[in-house]
Structure formats: structure tokens, C-alpha cells
Amino acid sequence: MANLDSALKDAMTIDGAIGIALVDYTSGMTLGVAGGTPEIDLTVAAAGNTDVVRAKMRTIEMLKLNDDIEDMLITLGSQYHIIRPLNGSNGKGLFLYLMLSKTRSNLALARHRLRTIEEQLEL
């Protein structure tokens, strides 16, 4: 099991990682952050994605789908943004937000590593 700090540090070792945050999507509050760039305020970006998560959760509920979101991918010109809601009992209402450089990352491996980090995260 990993605590939040070690989980965020582990995520930053993913090839192409720019930044990672743990976010509460009910409040938009960032609970932990690592990485980022001077041009990108990771806290603002993470909080802004709470609307994306909430909208998808509402859609699943309205459609009465008996399923959970594994992850969501936003593809930009030079970056991948992966949003992974935590599905464990003590992670409800939280998501991991990972920013990756498109040219320096392997999307499949990054998704796999983020899933492993989520499974080992102890809050």
C-alpha cells in the first residue's frame, strides 16, 4: 500500500509525466499535486476537470448504466490528460488527474501504471 505522497511520486516516474493531482470532484479541491510547469497551474487544471467528471457521472446515472468509469482520456495536440476516478471504498468522490507529453509517453503503459497506482493507494 502507498500513501498519497509516494503514489504521486510514483506517478511522476511514468514516461512523459508532466504532472499528477488527486482531486475531490464534489468540491473541486486538489488534495495533492506533483509536477506541473510554470505555464500550467495543475491545481486550476485539475479543479476544472471536476466538471467533466461530474457531467459523465450524471450521464451514467441518467442512462441507468450499472457501470463505473475506468478512466477518461482527453487528447490535446501535444498532451494526453487521463482522469481516473477512484473506485475503492475510501476513494469515493476522488479522481487522479495525470498530464502526459504525447511525444514522450506510451498511453497504454501510462494507463496501466495509473491503474496500479490507484489500486495501491491508501487514503
DSSP code at position 63: T
pLDDT at 111 (0 to 100)? 97
Please say if the pLDDT value at position 24 is more than 70. yes
Quick one: cell of 89? 471504498
pLDDT at 81 (0 to 100)? 96
- Asked if 122 contacts 88 with a C-beta cutoff of 8 angstroms, the reply is no
What percentage of the chain reaches a pLDDT higher than 90? 79
pLDDT at 123 (0 to 100)? 81
Q: d(Cα 26, Cα 15) in Å, to the nearest integer?
A: 30
- With bands split at pLDDT 50, 70 and 90, how would you rate the model's confidence at 49? very high
DSSP code at position 78: S
More confident residue, 8 or 39: 8
Average pLDDT, the chain: 93
pLDDT at 89 (0 to 100)? 66
Among all chains, which residue has been given the C-alpha cell 509516494? 6
Q: d(Cα 49, Cα 25) in Å, to the nearest integer?
A: 8
Please say if the pLDDT value at position 2 is more than 80. no
Quick one: cell of 6? 509516494
- Angle formed by the axes of helices 107-120 and 4-11, nearest 10°: 170
pLDDT at 1 (0 to 100)? 59
The residue type found at 20 is: I
